[in-house]
Amino acid sequence: MVADLPVGERLQDQPMYALSYLLKPDAGAEPPHGSAALWTRSALAGGDELDLQLSVSVQPDVDETGAPVRLLRIWAAVVLPRSVGTLRLKSLDPLVTPRIAYNLLADPADRPRLREIVRVARRVAHTEPLASLLAHELLPGPDLETDAALDAALDAGLLTFYHGTSTAPMGGPADPAAVVDDEGRVRGLTGLRVADASVFPEMLSVPINLTVLLVAERIAAAMRQSAAGATLAAAA
């Protein structure tokens, strides 16, 4: 074991809470799509930010008797969080799990925004025609009108979108927080590049997979161009 080694001073992920509703048996056939999503702005959003998201899915489950039922899940998330966590190594052994501290909802702006989108989700669930399809709310449950009561539910069921990013952010030569340059090269090392979500300078408001693919393609193209240049120089 070694002392904590700081390798990621800017870990970010999107905090999320899953509201759960029991669908009535006659709610209709399960939709062909996996989920649907809606982006919106919070009361604290700046400019044209879309900092909140609702996504909806129908999932099979069983009740207390073991009978099959279906649940409607509404995933309420802050997709442009301001809270920042850390990723630190516990050992030089790459097989040892690192120490991850998400620090979710630590920024004063994040908790009120999560409360806001959860309350929006509950209003959606209680609005026709959706309300007639729901038997009752399972989570977060009744009597959550006060911030304190809602906060207790959020803390008990807080999740993330598993969109961890920004532990090795990309930046220019004057950026003290930058770990890699604009071609993914790790500063201070030769022959090492990073091409994944860790190089994002900041969190995205969307699922990160397509952006990771684009970043990887651009860095791969830069590597091919660099290798071609080196070959031409050697030939000359």
Q: Are 42 and 54 in contact (CB under 8 A)?
A: no
Annotated active-site residue 136? The verdict is no
Rg of the chain in Å (alpha carbons): 22
Q: Which of 33, 126, 136, 163 is catalytic?
A: 163
Helix (H) or strand (E) holding 113: helix 110-125
Residues 6+ apart with CB under 8 A from 13: 81, 85, 102, 104, 160, 161, 162, 163, 164, 165, 203
Q: Is 221 helix (H, G, I), strand (E, B) or coil?
A: helix
Q: Are 71 and 59 in contact (CB under 8 A)?
A: yes
Residue whose structure tokens are 């120089």: 233
Residues known to be catalytic: 163
